[in-house]
């Protein structure tokens, strides 16, 4: 029995967002609306400034946390609560929008281009209208684990005895994993949680053998309901983002930059934005 076979594999969708930024939408597309509690995952990856320089001018959020992880390049963030700063190579911004916040995300031209991710997590019903907060996590404070051809950057959660620095409202594991050919990554999935991976470099394989379970670059997979996930590098330099959390099993009603539990809450978010009260 192929116990580690992915349940779902989808390919990232080319699209535009912000003021005309070209990106790949991994979660949050018509093909894959969400994988509770993850409601969006975008990849920006280009060495052409025309693809990203327009950035994301001031816009609102409510009911979610947005997590920006920069592998290459720089983005400058500002928000209506006084938070912000420059995200450089390896840095993470973990922003809790809660009851509401306005912010902008504008790139700076870098000779290596831009390569980064934005992940959205829906907040639990009891925390939808919590106070906003901002975590700026510098690259040097993010621990790594692994060895023997594997490197696991632990942004949130825990792996190999290393704990990620991000504070979360519920248990979330968020890793950036790099594997040499045939080297492996293994993770014991806590009871009730579901795990996912997005292949950003090379290709990987799961399951009992390489031939049956290869997943290629720019594909997102939901891993099977197994007590331990095992993933192997299929190329000389394979890499993927790994996500794991328990579904909140609450209604997800989304519209643009807002993710709420009911249509009434969503309509109120838009009214508050239109009347200048989104962050009050």
**CATH code for position 73:** 2.60.120.10
Question: Which one, of 195, 185, 239, 242, lies nearest residue 216 by Cα?
Answer: 239
> Is residue 268 situated within a structural domain?
yes
Q: Is the pTM of this model over 0.85?
A: yes
Q: Could you list the mean pLDDT of each consecutive 10-residue stretch along the chain, which spans 280 residues?
A: 64 95 95 96 96 96 97 92 88 95 92 95 97 93 93 98 97 98 94 96 84 87 88 94 98 96 98 90
> Is residue 50 situated within a structural domain?
yes
> Is residue 280 situated within a structural domain?
no
Number of domains in the chain: 1
> Is residue 3 situated within a structural domain?
no
Instruction: Report the distance separating Cα 91 and Cα 279, nearest Å.
Output: 26
> Is residue 2 situated within a structural domain?
no
Burial of 145-175, coded b for 16+ CB within 10 Å and e otherwise, reads bbeeebbbbbbbbebeebebebebbeebbbb
Instruction: Report the distance separating Cα 245 and Cα 38, nearest Å.
Output: 9
**How open is the CA angle 50-45-254, to the nearest 5 degrees?**
95
> Is residue 279 situated within a structural domain?
no
> Is residue 206 situated within a structural domain?
yes
Structure confidence at residue 33 (pLDDT): 93
Q: Which domain holds residue 31?
A: 8-274
Helices (H) and strands (E) in the chain, counts: 1, 26
Hey, what are 61's tokens? 């959020």
């Amino acid at each position: 029995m192929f116990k580690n076979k992915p349940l779902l594999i989808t390919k990232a969708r080319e699209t535009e967002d912000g003021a005309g930024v070209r990106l790949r939408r991994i979660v949050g597309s018509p093909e894959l609306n969400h994988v509770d509690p993850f409601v969006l995952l975008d990849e920006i990856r280009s060495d052409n400034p025309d693809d990203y320089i327009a950035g994301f001018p001031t816009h609102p959020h409510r009911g979610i946390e947005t997590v920006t992880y920069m592998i290459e390049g720089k983005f400058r963030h500002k928000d209506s609560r006084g938070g912000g700063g420059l995200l450089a190579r390896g840095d993470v911004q973990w922003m809790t929008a809660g009851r509401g916040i306005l912010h902008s995300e504008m790139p700076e031209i870098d000779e290596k281009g831009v390569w980064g991710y934005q992940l959205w997590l829906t907040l639990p019903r009891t925390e939808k209208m919590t106070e906003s907060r901002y975590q700026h996590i510098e690259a040097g404070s993010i621990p790594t684990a692994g060895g023997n051809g594997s490197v696991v950057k632990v942004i949130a959660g825990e792996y190999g005895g290393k704990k990620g620095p991000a504070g979360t409202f519920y248990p979330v594991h968020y890793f950036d994993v790099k594997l040499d050919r045939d080297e492996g990554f293994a993770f014991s999935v806590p009871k009730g949680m579901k795990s996912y991976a997005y292949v950003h470099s090379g290709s990987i394989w799961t399951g009992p053998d390489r031939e049956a379970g290869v997943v290629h670059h720019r594909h997102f997979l939901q891993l099977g309901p197994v007590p331990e996930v095992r993933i192997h590098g299929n190329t000389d330099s394979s890499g993927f983002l790994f996500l794991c959390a328990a579904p909140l099993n609450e209604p997800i009603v989304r519209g643009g930059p807002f993710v709420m539990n009911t249509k009434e809450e969503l309509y109120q978010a838009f009214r508050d934005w239109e009347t200048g009260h989104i962050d009050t």
